[in-house]
Amino acid sequence: MSKIMIVEDEADIAEMISMHLAREGHESVTISNGLQVMPAAIEQHPDIIILDLMLPGLDGLSVFKRLRADTRTASIPVIILTAKSQVTDKIAGLESGADDYLTKPFSPRELFLRISAILRRTKKVVLISEMRRGPFSLDRRNLKLFLHGQPLDLTTTEFKLLTTLMENDDAVHTRADLLREVWGYNGDVATRTLDTHVKRLREKLGEDGKAIITVRGTGFQFKIDGEETPVETSAT
Ligand code: CA
């Protein structure tokens, strides 16, 4: 069973969708005001959001952009609903990366075919491409880091370095390992390069930079605050 959020202010359409979803074995929740979508999506994390464009409070396209800009909701697939006359809206919806869209009036069958296709697709992809640890969320498909839900600008090397550290979170990564995995070097000829990048990465992470721990004489380790830290470490 999947949880589907219906964002639609026209009660009869919302009810029709909800009724058919229930018949297919899906749970649904209806939101009628654009401003209520973000808080509800963060709290309930639905599998799919069906989003009408014409909404009171906040229009559907703005809602969609907010959903995509926050890591807690960025990966939720969205199907946009538009009235037949809103051709430009439809194009804007596609350009901003909606997973699918449907033109009103639509048949329930059409909607469910699209829902099923998205569920089949995303249940796999999301697991592979997302990695979360504490406030860190890595979107490996798009090479993006979100920290506390906010996107952070990292260079490709910094992203690779952080991913490598996070992938094996309990292990200590030696300098030689990191130089080989991130830079493709053999031997530890360029230790200073590594230290410079770690320093810069920590600075960008601010307070959360302390998750990258220096293991004296060995290398680095990724640890989230509050978890057990190994002996013989310093955060220099
Ligand atoms: Ca509407």
Task: Give tens-digit pLDDT for 82-127.
Answer: 876 665 666 665 666 677 778 888 888 888 888 888 887 766 555 5
If you average pLDDT over residues 32-48, what whole number do you get?
A: 95
Q: How far is the CA of 52 from the centre of ligand 1 (A)?
A: 6
Instruction: State the DSSP H helix or E strand holding residue 69, giving kind and residue range, or none if neither.
Output: helix 60-69
Q: How far is the CA of 176 from the centre of ligand 1 (A)?
A: 58
Domain ranges of the chain: 3-123, 128-234
Q: Are the CB atoms for 104 and 83 separated by under 8 Å?
A: yes
Closest listed residue to residue 52, CA positions, set 18, 14, 15: 14
Q: How far is the CA of 74 from the centre of ligand 1 (A)?
A: 23
Q: How far is the CA of 56 from the centre of ligand 1 (A)?
A: 8
Among 111-115, 183-187, 200-204, the range with the most confident prediction by mean pLDDT is: 200-204
Question: What per-residue confidence (pLDDT) applies to 204?
Answer: 95
Q: How far is the CA of 195 from the centre of ligand 1 (A)?
A: 54
Architecture category of domain 128-234 in CATH: Orthogonal Bundle (1.10)
Question: What per-residue confidence (pLDDT) applies to 235?
Answer: 40
The whole-model pTM stands at 0.53
Model confidence at 11, pLDDT cuts 50, 70, 90, reads very high
Pick the CATH number of 3-123 from 3.40.50.720, 3.40.50.2300, 3.40.640.10, 3.30.360.10: 3.40.50.2300
Scored b (16 or more CB within 10 A) or e, 194-221 reads: beebbebbbebbeebeebbbbbeebbbb
